[in-house]
Amino acid sequence: MKYGKLTESIYDRSVRKIMKSNGAGLGADCAVLAGSAVCDGILSGQALAFGTDKRTAARAYLAAVNYVIACCANRAALGLFDTGAYITIMIPERMREIKVRMMMEATALQAKETGVPILSCNVQVLPTVTQIVVSCVISAGLEKHSEGTIISMKKKTLVDEDIVMTKWLGLEGTAVMAAESHDKLCQRYPSDLVNTAADFYEYLSIAPEAATAVKSGADYLLALREGGIFGGLWQLAAENGVGLVADLKRIPVRQETIEVCEYFDLNPYELLAGGSMLIVTANGEGLVHTLEKADVPAAVIGRITQGNDRVIRHGEESRFLEPANGDEIFQYYAQVETSCN
């Protein structure tokens, strides 16, 4: 099997079918347990990250926080309480203590800025691990509504609404590659370009645009990550049982991402896209204007349609979008491993 998430067909027949027969309710990035007398439910989001950079654990933490933010918004929750992060870090035997300390400092700083405390952090040295592997779970209680019921995940039909994308595609993947292959990239490109790409890390939180989107009455939010923008568009349509049309030329991309992907011969549209969101709203241009006033770049890239057709347009040409088949970041690591052997 290929690296990354299981394909949709394999997951459905070998994971979802079996786990549902055991009474499990499976979600994409978040799950919500039943409510009680004191809350509308317990929300849980999980994310993985791997790599060699000191910010690997912080990336997993931020991704999990992003999933929880989007899920909370989609449930029209009044807010969250008792929020906390549980982190498990697996590291190779060769890693030095100073790098572990630097990784923890970066993660602690991110937690301080985000406001979600780290309640547990388990770090293990394992013989089978060749680079840092991090799992982060965020849990939180959903504040109680007056009627005492959980708000439905899907508030209304989304057909004929606009799809807005925030920031630029491939942000997280670009940051990872620029940081971990900095010297190699600087042999071809100006150091300023590579340094700027590595600093894309500063864009990985979706909290600002999520807050703006909710205040503006957006109907659905999706935090992008694995599978890139193409994977996110497919997930958006699949989760809501709708079709869509997206315009390739409208999808925003930074020149740094184009250059880094060209160096490693990768498809930027299928590259790790943490830090960006897809937002479904009735007035896309209005939301874009509001986001830009809040210093969040955004663009209307498509529209929700009736049925199940998911179409990508590029000029006069159109093609059907296919389910995500892994993420280009794994191709990057395969190249790195080959060059080291």
What is the pLDDT, as a whole number, of residue 151? 41
- Token look-up 């100006």 returns 190
* Residue 180 neighbours by CB distance under 10 Å: 19
Residue ranges of the chain assigned to CATH 3.30.1330.10: 26-142
What is the pLDDT, as a whole number, of residue 63? 94
Token output for 161: 């609404």
What is the pLDDT, as a whole number, of residue 156? 64
- Token look-up 């943490």 returns 274
Residue ranges of the chain assigned to CATH 3.90.650.10: 162-340
Contact 243, 237 (CB under 8 A): yes
What is the pLDDT, as a whole number, of residue 23? 45
Residue 132 to residue 59: CA distance in whole angstroms? 12
Q: Is 148 exposed, middle or buried (CB count within 10 Å of its CB: 0-12, 13-18, 19+)?
A: exposed
Q: Which residues contact 17 (CB under 8 A, 6 or more apart)?
A: none
Token output for 146: 């007056």
Contact 181, 336 (CB under 8 A): yes
* Residue 232 neighbours by CB distance under 10 Å: 23
Q: Is 328 helix (H, G, I), strand (E, B) or coil?
A: helix
Residue 297 to residue 56: CA distance in whole angstroms? 25
Q: Which residues contact 266 (CB under 8 A, 6 or more apart)?
A: 173, 328, 331, 332
Residue 318 to residue 325: CA distance in whole angstroms? 20
What is the pLDDT, as a whole number, of residue 191? 97
Task: Give the CATH superfamily of 162-340.
Answer: PurM-like C-terminal domain (3.90.650.10)
CATH class of 26-142: alpha beta
Q: At what angle do helices 328-340 and 171-180 cross, to 10 degrees?
A: 10
Q: What is the pLDDT along the chain (341 residues), one digit of tens a residue?
A: 667 777 777 777 877 777 665 544 455 566 665 555 445 567 788 899 999 999 999 999 999 999 988 887 776 554 666 789 999 999 999 999 999 999 999 999 999 999 899 999 999 999 989 999 999 999 887 765 544 444 444 456 899 999 999 999 999 999 999 999 999 999 999 999 999 999 999 999 999 999 999 999 999 999 999 999 999 999 999 989 999 999 999 999 999 999 999 999 999 999 999 999 999 999 999 999 999 999 999 999 999 999 999 999 999 999 999 988 889 999 999 998 777 76
Q: Is 91 helix (H, G, I), strand (E, B) or coil?
A: strand
